[in-house]
Amino acid sequence: MPDRYLQVVEPTDNVATALRELDAGEPVTVAVGGEERDVEVQADVEFGHKIALEDLAAGETIIKYGKSIGNASQDITAGEWVHVHNVESNYGRGDLADDDQVQAVSE
């Protein structure tokens, strides 16, 4: 039986949202579309946070709601906590903008 507290929105998603706290080392079964996926949770995960459903290489697209929510900023293994430490956004990236696009702002 898949764990109802691990929610995947679209079958193409490669992350699941935890609707309970997860423990490191815990084996979980996740419903992905009509299939079931078994992964081992790699670290304690708080309510509402995400785990990877498969191994993801640095630069690979993180998919939720069937769409990109950013890219892996480092290699991520199945069952790993997926959050700000290993995912970067593709919007509002003034830090990556060309100098001529940027207005001078002091830090």
Contact residues for another protein (CB under 8 A)?
Answer: 5, 7, 9, 17-20, 46-50, 62, 64-65, 67-70, 82-84, 87-97, 101-103, 105
Measured from the CB atom, the residue of 24 and 102 that comes closer to another protein is 102
Helix (H, G, I), strand (E, B) or coil at 99: helix
Rounded Cα distance, 36 and 47, in Å: 21
User: How many Cα atoms within 13 Å fall on the side-chain side of residue 61?
Assistant: 10
- Find the shortest distance in angstroms from Cβ 50 to another protein: 6
- Find the shortest distance in angstroms from Cβ 6 to another protein: 12
Measure CA 56 to chain center. Answer: 9
Measured from the CB atom, the residue of 27 and 48 that comes closer to another protein is 48
- Find the shortest distance in angstroms from Cβ 39 to another protein: 17
Which two structure tokens, joined as six digits, stand for 101?
């696009």
